[in-house]
């Protein structure tokens, strides 16, 4: 069974997809590797790795949750690498947009452009790298 073995009390209202282990593994990959890939242009400065996680962890989590919900949705198909990369880039942009709006709601376009410069390539790369896993059974 692909559901988590332990669930907090009252979490049965959550959709089965969100309670499944493959969903959280994909979210974890985005959270672990997303800030590193997005912060790669600044890799010459060793001190920036903690800052990459401080700034990029929330957009990576949002992007991972969106991407994982799409990837593990019950369907008879498994998307190709091109589709996974395109949707990963879109999810990276949406994750950056959510954080940019939270940071500066008056003019979120500038903050989004700076964040999306790093989130879109990271989402595309991580999306394309996802391997086919066993599909979740339909609810």
Q: Could you read off the pLDDT of 16-47 as tens digits, one per residue? A: 677 778 888 889 999 999 988 888 887 777 66
pLDDT on residue 50: 82
Residue spans per domain, the chain: 26-99+109-129
Q: Residues 115, 122: contact at Cβ < 8 Å?
A: no
Please tell me the distance from the alpha carbon of residue 43 to that of residue 134, in angstroms, as a whole number.
35
Look at phi and psi of residue 108 and say left if phi exceeds 0, alpha if psi is from -120 to 50, else beta.
Answer: alpha
Name the percent of the chain lying above pLDDT 90. 20
């Amino acid at each position: 069974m692909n559901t988590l073995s332990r669930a907090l009390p009252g979490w049965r209202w959550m959709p089965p997809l969100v309670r499944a282990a493959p969903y959280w593994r994909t979210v974890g990959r985005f959270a672990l590797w997303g800030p590193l890939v997005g912060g790669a242009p600044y890799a010459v400065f060793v001190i920036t790795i903690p800052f990459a996680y401080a700034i990029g962890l929330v957009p990576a989590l949002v992007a991972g949750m969106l991407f994982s919900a799409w990837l593990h949705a019950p369907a008879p198909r498994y998307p190709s690498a091109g589709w996974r990369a395109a949707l990963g880039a879109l999810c990276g942009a949406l994750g950056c947009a959510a954080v940019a709006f939270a940071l500066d709601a008056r003019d979120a376009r500038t903050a989004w452009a700076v964040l999306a410069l790093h989130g879109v390539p990271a989402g595309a790369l991580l999306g394309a790298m996802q391997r086919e896993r066993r599909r979740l059974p339909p609810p």
